[in-house]
Structure 1
Amino acid sequence: MPPRGGDLSRLRQLNALSVVQSLRGAEPLTLSALAQRTGLSRPSTKEVVDELTQLGWVEEVPPAPGTMGRPARRYRFRAYVGHLVGVDIGAHNVRAALADLDGNVLAETRRPARPDAPLDERLTAIERAVVSCLDLGGMTMADLWTVAVGTTGLVTPEGRVMLSAGITAWKDLDLAGLLGEMFPCGVLIENDSRLAALAETRRGVARGARDVVFLHVGRRMGTGLIIDGKLHRGFGAAAGEIVMLPETRWTTAPEDLNNAAIVPEGTPVEDAAGYTLAAARNGDPAALEAVDRYVEKLAVGTAAAVLMLDPEIVVLGGGFSRSADVLLPPLRDRLEKVCLRMPRLRGSTLGDECVVLGAIDYAIDHLDRLFFPADGAALRPPSRPEPRATTPAGHSSR
């Protein structure tokens, strides 16, 4: 639910943001419907809508052709006035998605990459993925307001990647600075598992949940945490790095699926786990044994997170989430033996899209804070990207 507005004289910006969030992604609404959604009085709602219309964020929708009488005025958010790009930098692929301010994906591209690729090669893949995405959407770099990036590795609040087990070139790397030179707009950097967790609470199976553990399972393992409805980074932005605990054996867990006897010789490593999981679904004994070994390791770190945080829901996401029907039953059996209270266990419905969608939602949150600041008046949408500047958090921002 959008935040509920209060007295306009005291909470003017909260009310403006409340109206914007109520209109975003919705059908055109009348003033009465908006007042009901935001908790504002109808006169206050009209005052906020008039202001947002003058600034260029909201517009009145003409009556449908053939409408009789004098219909109530309806309003919508002008999502098309700005655009952003979400980027997912993985060890093996770089994915980019162009979106409007409603978060609707307008175009998407993917570029292959190698885990051991040199820095310049990976940066080139990132730029090409974004440029191709813009080309598909009929836009240029000048149309971008923000680029939000999710990457594997330990990411500081300043956008520096301290280390990454999946990408060898990602070590004490000022990724925010490098991409800030590449793109003529604000650049945000965040850990990919955290962005995936954010996407699940906004668009996926954890929508509306306040406490969430996201398991990023695939050719590498990771977690993202949502606590009290907020993305949780921890004091040093290292929260959720359960993979670093040797006792979990998460760094080697995917090999259990790759090395199963059922996988034919010569199968590409990127297809081995999928082959094993499909065979397990069909009841193959060797594949089931491999899945059992994998889940035994997965359960150790998951149980630790559940016992520590007591989440409402645990979401299985990432590349292996397509086989949630195979993985969740044995995971549930193990967790039930040690957890004081069992959370809901669900497989992601976002699949490989989870990180890039989370990056889009992360960028929208950033733009809301930028254009609807709590300590000032709402700003008019820019006609072109504003110059970059460094925020106190260290991100490149407009």
Structure 2
Amino acid sequence: MVRLTGGDPSLLRRINSAVVLHALRGSGPLTLTELTRSTGLSRPTVEGVVEGLMESGLVVEAAAGSADARKQGRPARRFRFHAESGHLLGVEIGVHQVRVLLADLGGRMLGSYCYPVDELLDVDTRLERVRAGVAESLRRAEVARSTLWAVGVGSPGIVEANGRVGLSTAMPGWTGLALGERLGRSFKCPVLVENDANAAALGEHWLGAARGNDDVVFVMAGLSPGAGSLIGGRLHRGFGGAAGEIGALHLLGREATPERLLSTTDRPLDPLDEVAVTRVFSLAREGDARATEAVRRFLRRLVHDVAALALALDPELVVLGGWATGLDDVVEPLRDALARYCLRPPRVALSALGEEAVATGALRLALDHVEEQLFAVDRTAAAVLR
């Protein structure tokens, strides 16, 4: 409970407002008496805070329920967090698609939209497709752009803290792109950019297979697999945002490149794209011997790469996403390998969010930013007390 005296009155008001907002968001509609009891603030303080929050649109009076209607006399007014007063976007910018998730300030999903894009698009055209996809999503949901509080973005590549893409092998034109800055020109709210595997890890931790688990590795299986890791419930990005780039392990000389691993001939697979790879997996399912062996080689390297990461981080859970969601035989080989290599093998599960994992994690980034602005009382209070 925050109890402060003296100091900056405006800062104290902000802290009190955050305390009241946190109580309303966590408990639903409350009366002034209930708010006074749950926050520990005085009745006059709570009344003043609620009045100010109603003026700002963050709090509204809740409609009377059936139980209140049956009571004699005038029921006590109840107030709730006005989550509909603002909106958040989670955007995945992938090689072949742009996916947009829309939610209110409470994180309640309002819409999911997906737009296919050509993998060969140049940077400017791809960014224009992203803007068009966002505009269309907002139009279909009848949400004004002015109500956006934050936009989270997940995209392939090593993403630096300032939103710049340091390296992207999946989309070469992305390398060196100040993605956060470029997208920020289209919005009047913060734009937060993260690597796609990192974003997916956040999404699975929030609403997917990793709920309730704070030490998690999410593996984005693909031509160049990547991973996002949560340690103690917090995203581990590494010094420059390159943590989890297990697709580079073949550079150590231990394994062949994906071009050779997935080849069904004596020559490297060329071009190495999703169409060619999909054909290899399809042939394997049909019983083609060379394709089956190619898939086995690729999965063996993937398993070794994940095992190396699990040995380093000792996660409670490994979640498989990307291509792994379409492969029935990837879980057991990984479990067997982790049992051989790890002192304490983690549990293994397939992604529960599937194709929406990255966009869901991007939305969580936006929600985290809003919650930091509205509900981060402890940090502010600590600064005052110092």
Q: TM-score, normalised by structure 2?
A: 0.80
Q: CA-to-partner distance for each residue in 1:309-357, whole Å, 9 max, x for gaps?
A: 111100011243243x321011111221111111110111100101111
After TM superposition, give the deviation of residue 114 of structure 1 in Å: 3.0
After TM superposition, give the deviation of residue 168 of structure 1 in Å: 1.5
SS of corresponding position for 1:169: helix
Q: CA-to-partner distance for each residue in 1:235-285, whole Å, 9 max, x for gaps?
A: 22221122222248899448756859xxxxxxx9448538837964x8876
Give the distance between the partners of 2:118 and 2:253, measured in 1 at CA: 26
Give the distance between the partners of 2:90 and 2:39, measured in 1 at CA: 38
The question of 1:178 aligning with 2:182 is answered: yes
Q: Note closer, same or farther for the CA distance 1:243–1:220 as it changes in structure 2 (3 Å cut).
A: closer
Q: CA-to-partner distance for each residue in 1:287-317, whole Å, 9 max, x for gaps?
A: 6544422221111211111111111100011
Give the distance between the partners of 2:116 and 2:135, measured in 1 at CA: 15
Q: Note closer, same or farther for the CA distance 1:14–1:118 as it changes in structure 2 (3 Å cut).
A: same
Q: Note closer, same or farther for the CA distance 1:367–1:339 as it changes in structure 2 (3 Å cut).
A: same
SS of corresponding position for 2:333: helix
> For residue 360 of structure 1, what is the aligned residue in structure 2?
363
Q: Note closer, same or farther for the CA distance 1:210–1:277 as it changes in structure 2 (3 Å cut).
A: farther
> For residue 348 of structure 2, what is the aligned residue in structure 1?
345
Give runs of aligned pairs for residues 66-85 of structure 1, distance below 5 A. Answer: 67-69=69-71, 75-85=79-89
> For residue 106 of structure 1, what is the aligned residue in structure 2?
110
Question: Does structure 2 retain, via aligned residues, the 8 Å contact 1:223–1:240?
Answer: yes
From 52, 55, 62, the equivalent of 1:54 is 52
Question: Does structure 2 retain, via aligned residues, the 8 Å contact 1:319–1:351?
Answer: no
> For residue 63 of structure 1, what is the aligned residue in structure 2?
64
From 124, 128, 131, the equivalent of 1:124 is 128
Give the distance between the partners of 1:190 and 1:302, measured in 2 at CA: 21
From 90, 94, 101, the equivalent of 2:94 is 90
Q: Which runs of 5+ in 1 are unaligned?
A: 1-5, 261-267, 378-398
Give the distance between the partners of 1:294 and 1:244, measured in 2 at CA: 14
Question: Bigger radius of gyration, 1 or 2?
Answer: 2
Question: Does structure 2 retain, via aligned residues, the 8 Å contact 1:57–1:77?
Answer: yes
From 219, 223, 227, the equivalent of 1:223 is 227
> For residue 28 of structure 2, what is the aligned residue in structure 1?
28
Give the distance between the partners of 1:13 and 1:174, measured in 2 at CA: 34
Give the distance between the partners of 1:300 and 1:248, measured in 2 at CA: 13
Aligned length: 358
> For residue 394 of structure 1, what is the aligned residue in structure 2?
none
> For residue 9 of structure 2, what is the aligned residue in structure 1?
none
Question: Does structure 2 retain, via aligned residues, the 8 Å contact 1:97–1:130?
Answer: no
Q: CA-to-partner distance for each residue in 1:20-72, whole Å, 9 max, x for gaps?
A: 56655x7835579x88xxxx953627868753563143334223247422678
CA RMSD of aligned residues (A): 3.6
The question of 1:276 aligning with 2:264 is answered: no
> For residue 314 of structure 1, what is the aligned residue in structure 2?
318
Q: TM-score, normalised by structure 1?
A: 0.77
